[in-house]
Chains A and B, each alone.
Chain A
Amino acid sequence: MNGSGQEDTHRTTHRTIERVARESYGRLVAYLSSQTRDVASAEDALSNALVAALKAWPGDGVPQNPEAWLLTAARRSFIDLVRHRQVAAASEPTLQLLREEREMTLPAEFPDDRLKLLFVCAHPAIDSSMHTPLMLQTVLGLDAARIAHAFLVSPTTMGQRLVRAKTKIRDGGIQFEVPQERELPQRLDAVLEAIYAAFGIGWDDMAGVDQSGRELAEEAIWLGRVLLQLMPREAEVRGLLALMLHCEARRTARRGQDGRFVPLSEQDSQQWSLPLIEEAERHLAEASSRGRTGRFQLEAAIQSVHAERARSGRTQWAAILLFYEQLIRISPTLGTRTGYAAAVAEGRGPEAGLGVLDAIDFESVSCYQPYWAVRAHLLQRLAKTSEAADAFDRAIGLTEDPAVRQFLLQRRG
């Protein structure tokens, strides 16, 4: 084989490893850690296995069942790691597992424990700000540095927080199990919230963007698909996926060619991704046939009305208001109430929209950018120039995204 041919093989092997790692990472971590609750050792074992694969596969060729190969290697390393780390305080379940593992031959099919892992990551005993980072790391294998950037903390800090959370999972008596029917709705909510937090773009009407975590949108959609695969009958799981797909469909339209921010009302709907919209609509229809509405289905329904514009050329604000009114009853968050105010302004005039904003507790919005962006927009429409300029300043001063800042500066005039 000549040099470049060898290089090609290397590259192909590398890609295979990346693909297998991406598809199997969560399954392998979940399987390895579900018995011992030792997520950190499971991750270390898997990364050892991946390093071994990088060494062995280019020479030996990619094995017929790469996932099984990785599992065997990871399990061997896992047993060593756990034995090493817990030799002083070896817990009974761990010892039991090690005894069983030694006896066991490799199963052709190993159980998919990712659902349990997702519920562990969003367990009420774990600080809610760590739910999303834990999922991204344990299910998708993202490194702490990448997660840290998206969540605006230093990589070292994020690394330490992840370690602490995993120690709590191991030692805090958190069970690897899917919750019982009785607690399921609440526990599932936490899982959905965590996935949505990774997606990040909560709201892009009018003039503001909620930016936290937006770099992770694709990962969030991946997690949403995994969850749907594991819980195909839960309407809200489909609702969340539909919501994310609708927002994702507008990604390119959200920026002009020169990188400037384009608000939803000014987006060229022909730039929206039709396949993503269609997929979102399928999930939403399937969800509503199950007859149990929820927050994410309602938010997806609002986005679905916006998406209609691509076909009809106009926005049915009356329908949007109807969905918002239901949404506010079950989820009266700051984001929902701000979005509702913007919709009210479109449907019933800026004065009415401003009334909705005025009803929100003033203390709670002092650092909430979308509130000020909508307020500025409505005041401007009412020709209250100096009040509008003041609200624009608050919105501009709270904006992280330079493109949004520029957009608001221009609007302010």
Chain B
Amino acid sequence: MQFALLIYEPPEAFVARKSDGTDSYTGAWRAYHKALVESGSYLAGDPLEVPETGTTLRLKEGKRRVQDGPFADTKEQLGGFIIMELPSLDAALDWAARCPTAATGAVEVRPLAPAAKHRIT
């Protein structure tokens, strides 16, 4: 089964990304990424740019509505995602617990929906 780990980070975490790379935030993420890759279950993943760089678009009555910033106005924002091939939700939750952000923000675990994809491909 494939799972997405959606990583919601607090504002401090986005700030920490700008550091020189010797801080504990970067160190923890570097190590976590290495453990993910070495586990053999890692398929893909990427950090996202800071939330302020987002642009949200809606079409309302045929008119484009464009808004600066992310879709939801919350303290913790989507900061990245990881896709993994794992035997169970339990295994995915283990990896979520090891994620450095689990202690400072939140990690949502969601199964991918291959059946929904199949219907449109």
A residues sitting closer than 8 Å to B (CB atoms) are 152-153, 157, 366-367, 390, 392-400, 402, 405-406, 409, 412
Is the CB–CB distance between A366 and B39 below 8 Å?
Answer: yes
Q: Is the CB of B14 closer than 8 A to any CB of chain A?
A: no
Is the CB–CB distance between A402 and B103 below 8 Å?
Answer: yes
Is the CB–CB distance between A396 and B97 below 8 Å?
Answer: no
Is the CB–CB distance between A394 and B34 below 8 Å?
Answer: yes
* CB closest chain-A residue, reference B93: A152
Q: Is the CB of B73 closer than 8 A to any CB of chain A?
A: no
Can you list 20 A-B contacts with CB-CB less than 8 angstroms, sorted by A residue number? A152-B90, A152-B94, A153-B93, A367-B39, A390-B34, A393-B30, A393-B31, A394-B31, A394-B34, A394-B35, A394-B38, A396-B32, A397-B31, A397-B35, A402-B103, A405-B28, A405-B100, A409-B27, A409-B28, A409-B31
CB neighbours of A395 from chain B (8 A): 31
* CB closest chain-B residue, reference A402: B103
Question: 5 more A-B contacts (CB under 8 A) besides A152-B94, A396-B32, A397-B33?
Answer: A367-B35, A393-B35, A394-B38, A405-B24, A409-B28
Candidate in A152, A397, A398 with the most chain B CB atoms within 10 angstroms? A397
Is the CB–CB distance between A153 and B90 below 8 Å?
Answer: yes
Given known A409-B27, A409-B28, contact A397–B36 (CB-CB < 8 A): yes
Main secondary structure of the interface of B (DSSP, over half): helix
Q: Is the CB of B47 closer than 8 A to any CB of chain A?
A: no
CB neighbours of B90 from chain A (8 A): 152-153
Q: Is the CB of B110 closer than 8 A to any CB of chain A?
A: no
CB neighbours of B102 from chain A (8 A): 400
What is the minimal beta-carbon distance from A310 to any residue of chain B, in angstroms? Answer: 32
Is the CB–CB distance between B31 and A396 below 8 Å?
Answer: yes
* CB closest chain-B residue, reference A399: B98
B residues sitting closer than 8 Å to A (CB atoms) are 24, 27-28, 30-36, 38-40, 89-90, 93-94, 97-98, 100, 102-103
CB neighbours of A406 from chain B (8 A): 24
Is the CB–CB distance between A397 and B24 below 8 Å?
Answer: no
Q: Please report the C-alpha to C-alpha distance between residue A409 and residue B34 in the assembled complex, in whole angstroms.
A: 14
Candidate in B27, B100, B103 with the most chain A CB atoms within 10 angstroms? B27
Q: Please report the C-alpha to C-alpha distance between residue A157 and residue B90 in the assembled complex, in whole angstroms.
A: 10
Is the CB–CB distance between B97 and A409 below 8 Å?
Answer: no
CB neighbours of B30 from chain A (8 A): 393
CB neighbours of A390 from chain B (8 A): 34
Q: Please report the C-alpha to C-alpha distance between residue A395 and residue B27 in the assembled complex, in whole angstroms.
A: 12
What is the minimal beta-carbon distance from B98 to any residue of chain A, in angstroms? Answer: 6
CB neighbours of A398 from chain B (8 A): 35, 98
Is the CB–CB distance between B27 and A396 below 8 Å?
Answer: yes
Q: Please report the C-alpha to C-alpha distance between residue A367 and residue B89 in the assembled complex, in whole angstroms.
A: 16
Q: Please report the C-alpha to C-alpha distance between residue A398 and residue B102 in the assembled complex, in whole angstroms.
A: 13
Is the CB–CB distance between B28 and A396 below 8 Å?
Answer: yes
Given known A153-B90, A393-B35, A394-B35, contact A400–B24 (CB-CB < 8 A): no
CB neighbours of B38 from chain A (8 A): 366, 394
| Residue in A366, A400, A409 whose CB lies within 8 Å of B40 | A366
Q: Please report the C-alpha to C-alpha distance between residue A404 and residue B57 in the assembled complex, in whole angstroms.
A: 43
Q: Please report the C-alpha to C-alpha distance between residue A153 and residue B97 in the assembled complex, in whole angstroms.
A: 11
CB neighbours of A152 from chain B (8 A): 90, 93-94, 97
CB neighbours of A402 from chain B (8 A): 103
Candidate in A396, A399, A405, A406 with the most chain B CB atoms within 10 angstroms? A396
* CB closest chain-B residue, reference A211: B97
Q: Please report the C-alpha to C-alpha distance between residue A409 and residue B23 in the assembled complex, in whole angstroms.
A: 9
CB neighbours of B94 from chain A (8 A): 152, 367
